[in-house]
Amino acid sequence: MNKNSGAMALTLVGGLLAAGLCSLLARLTAGFPPTLVESWLGSTPAFLHPFIEELANGFSPDLNPDDVPTAAFLTIQTLLWAVMVFTGWQILRRPDSPAVLLTILAFALLFRVLLLPSTPIHSAEASRYLWDGASTNHGINPYLYEPAALMMRERQIEQPTEIDGRIYRGRPWTEADGERLDRLAALREAKPDLHAGITDANLPSPHPPLAQVFFALATRLTNGSLTGFKSIVVLFDLGVIVLLLRLLRRLRLRRGGVIFYAWSPVVLLSFANAGHWEAVPLFFFLWALTLAVRRKTWSGTVVLAMACLGRTANLLQGPALFRPTRRHLAAWLLLGVLTAGAFLPFILWQGAGGAPVLNGLRWTESSAPALPGIFLALQRLSASFVSLPERSGFAALVGCGLLFLTIFLRKVSQPDSDPGSLPRKAFAIAATLFLLSPHASPWQLVWIIPFLCAFPQPSWLVLMLTLQAGFLQFHTDYADFSLTAAPVPWLHLTVWASFCGLAFLDPLLLRLLERPSSVSGQDPTAVPPS
């Protein structure tokens, strides 16, 4: 058996195993038949019964998080991750094969098709997307009213008020507010499940202009269907795979590395299952990166502006892709005009004011699963030196900001010695943003995973698995995982200590794993971001 036929056999076996696991995961989200679960209870040890009983519940948003099968979900995710890493690394040790690449892509499409009808797991973001889109289509500025505004007007809440542990800001209600909220109330009555499924309803929309345009168009095209919305997201997700193949070919790296994105359980969960819209700005960012590698400054700037309008943090990638020199001054001006100009219509529409800019600063108040590392450590450390506990968060933000600025300036000042230098810089900036984030979550990891297709680092591949432990925070039966038994909760400490240890050992591990070579025979391994 030659190397290519061996790679094909491994890919087929791995793909079939992963397809079976995706089917099992899709079934899990809806819940297994009660009779089947009862039969399992009669043939398993008693200590497993609480976990098995949850299998009949699925992940319906109406259920208490304590009653959903989080443990079973994480078990399937672990198996999917193991299949991806083993198959991917074996493929990278062999020459590229068109047949193997086609098989990887065929299974990637199959996985997404299997998960599209599934119930989102521990995520209600798509409900917020559809609500914002429907609000826009009903002629209401999506930045003007948070979903809870309907409740606040009905109760005439005019001052900040705490209800069930959440702060509702309140406001004086004008006649114009009444007319617009009547339209939103009619929308709520027409789609009660959609409005009821929104978490963080007390927060205004944090999503930038491109998101609001996408939500409105997708909602209109799909008539508010969740599966239809997720299908559009997956189209951009598949577009990311196409761009990765083009980028890997341009950098003369093994295109088989695309498996780390195409088969990633985090990516599959984020887009095909949960419908997170980040696939759209991710697509535009990778397109801009590809154009920057090809030295297409003007077209790359326009596409990067689209990425920034989907995720404002992408503005920080500008100096990495297009160096701030006189040659690129006009391009930088264009980037600023396009980005700022896109906010203007929403600022002027119905007198929303600066809300489109300021609301994005409140995203840290959401309830998404998060396991911050460096930020949490700095926050706990600074708590020992500041008089007010709330100031420790600000002190940690300042510390993380200074750390980021130091690394950012260092990376931007490095010369572009070869075509691979731009992706390495972009990787370093994206990784630094993620590591210093006060809200590091599995969803945000999708901005790192594409770089692992070009620069596979064991530490980041393992973090793709361990960071999903954040989902345990939804389940109070596992509450001891997040309680403070030390200056840093031990679950956070375990995840990030293992990552740091592996990052230190990455060069040695890559040699032991017989790291893949590029098409040209040169070593493609980048220095891990630091």
What digits encode the pLDDT tens for the residues 90-127? 898 888 889 999 999 999 999 999 999 999 998 888 99
SS3 at position 163: strand
Question: CA 166 → CA 24, 86, 163, 365, distances in Å?
Answer: 36, 44, 5, 10
User: pLDDT at residue 1 above 60?
Assistant: no
Q: What percent of the chain has pLDDT over 90?
A: 38
- Are the C-beta atoms of residues 59 and 122 closer than 8 Å to each other? yes
- Match 């507010």 to its residue by tokens: 177
The type of residue at 131 is W
pLDDT of residue 367: 53
Which pairing describes strands 161-163 and 166-168: parallel, antiparallel, or unpaired?
antiparallel
What does the pLDDT read at residue 241? 97
Number of neighbours of residue 406 by Cβ within 10 angstroms = 11
CB 447 within 8 A of CB 282: yes
28, exposed or middle or buried, with CB in 10 Å at 0-12, 13-18, 19+?
buried
Q: Is the pLDDT of residue 494 over 90?
A: no
Is residue 69 within 8 Å of residue 477, measured between CB atoms? no
Q: Is residue 525 very low, low, confident or very high in pLDDT (cuts 50, 70, 90)?
A: very low
Residue 347 clears pLDDT 80, i.e. is over it: yes
Q: Which one, of 249, 243, 242, lies nearest residue 420 by Cα?
A: 249
Give per-residue pLDDT as tens, 140-192.
999 888 888 888 888 888 888 888 778 888 888 888 888 888 899 998 888 88
pLDDT in tens, 191-250: 888 888 888 888 888 888 889 999 999 999 999 899 999 999 999 999 999 999 999 999
Cβ distance 397 to 285 under 8 Å? no
Q: Which residue has the higher pLDDT, 331 or 300?
A: 300
Q: What is the pLDDT of residue 46?
A: 83
More confident residue, 43 or 361: 43
Residues 263-297 pLDDT 10s: 999 999 999 999 999 999 999 999 999 998 988 88
Percent of all residues in the chain with a pLDDT value above 70, rounded to a whole number: 88
pLDDT at residue 481 greater than cutoff 70: no
Q: What is the mean pLDDT of the chain?
A: 85
Residue 420 pLDDT grade (very low, low, confident, very high; cuts 50, 70, 90): confident
Q: In 19-131, where do the E strands start and end?
A: none
Q: Give 457-466 pLDDT, tens digit per residue.
A: 999 999 999 9
Residue 39 DSSP symbol: H
Domain ranges of the chain: 125-205
Q: Which two tokens stand for residue 341?
A: 């100009």
CB contact at 8 A, 200 and 366: yes
Q: Side chain identity at 342, as an amino acid letter?
A: A
What is the pLDDT, as a whole number, of residue 522?
Answer: 40
Average pLDDT over residues 348-369: 66
Which residues have C-beta within 8 Å of that of residue 344, sequence separation ≥ 6?
Answer: none
pLDDT at 516 over 80: no
> Could you tell me if 104 and 256 are in contact, meaning their C-beta atoms sit under 8 angstroms apart?
yes
For residue 523, pLDDT over 60 is answered with: no
Q: Show the DSSP H helices in 349-420 as ranges.
A: 355-358, 374-382, 389-413
Maximum pairwise Cα distance, the chain: 77
67, pLDDT greater than 80: yes
